[in-house]
């Protein structure tokens, strides 16, 4: 099917927002209107990020997968000291793991700020150290 060119009178089907600045143009930092638009865009993106993580943390599956990401992929709560084949510490592997851990701890701290109650529930569901004590009957 061949595409036809749109006339100037036809609305753009890509979106309804009309922007006065093209997306690839550098905003004018001296313009209060441009500054406000940038602040609004950043604020909207931050709120969308918070909404995304709240939605992920609202379900048991989301909390389980965040736990798995933090513990298995990022080693956020473990200090590992890898050794090479001869048994000596491997500095390159250690540094690589520290980078993963740093990412995991940063994500963990961000999620604690976004929804601390859901993160506590995440620990209770997945971390045996947070399991409620068993009652003796």
Query: Domain of 78?
Result: 33-130
Query: Contact 90/83 with Cβ under 8 angstroms?
Result: yes
| Domain count of the fold of the chain | 1
pLDDT score of 24 = 62
Indicate the pLDDT class of residue 71, thresholds 50, 70 and 90: very high
Instruction: Decide which of 105 and 28 is more confident.
Output: 105
pLDDT score of 20 = 54
pLDDT score of 15 = 47
pTM given for the model: 0.70
Exposure string of 98-109, with b = 16+ CB inside 10 Å and e = fewer, is eeebebbeebbe
Exposure string of 11-42, with b = 16+ CB inside 10 Å and e = fewer, is eeeeeeeeeeeeeeeeeeeeeeeeeeeeeeee
Q: Is the pLDDT of residue 56 over 50?
A: yes
Q: Return all residues near 111 (Cβ < 8 A) that are at least 6 apart.
A: 53, 57, 66, 118, 119
Question: Which 8-state DSSP code applies to residue 83?
Answer: B
In a domain, 86, yes or no: yes
pLDDT score of 23 = 61
In a domain, 116, yes or no: yes
Q: Is the pLDDT of residue 22 over 80?
A: no
In a domain, 26, yes or no: no
In a domain, 16, yes or no: no
In a domain, 18, yes or no: no
Q: Is the pLDDT of residue 74 over 90?
A: yes
Mean pLDDT (whole number) for 120-124 = 95
Rounded to 10 degrees, the C-alpha dihedral 123/129/132/134 comes to 150
The residue written with tokens 């209770």 in the block is: 124
């Amino acid at each position: 099917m061949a595409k036809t060119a749109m006339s100037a009178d036809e609305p753009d089907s890509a979106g309804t927002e009309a922007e006065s600045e093209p997306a690839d143009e550098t905003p004018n930092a001296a313009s209060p209107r441009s500054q406000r638009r940038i602040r609004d865009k950043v604020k909207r993106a931050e709120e969308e990020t918070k909404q995304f993580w709240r939605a992920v943390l609202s379900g048991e599956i989301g909390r389980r997968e965040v736990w798995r990401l933090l513990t298995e992929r990022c080693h956020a709560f473990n200090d590992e000291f890898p050794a090479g084949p001869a048994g000596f510490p491997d500095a390159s592997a250690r540094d690589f793991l520290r980078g993963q851990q740093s990412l995991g701890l940063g994500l963990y701290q961000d999620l604690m700020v976004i929804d601390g109650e859901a993160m506590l529930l995440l620990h209770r569901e997945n971390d045996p150290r947070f399991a409620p004590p068993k009652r003796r009957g």
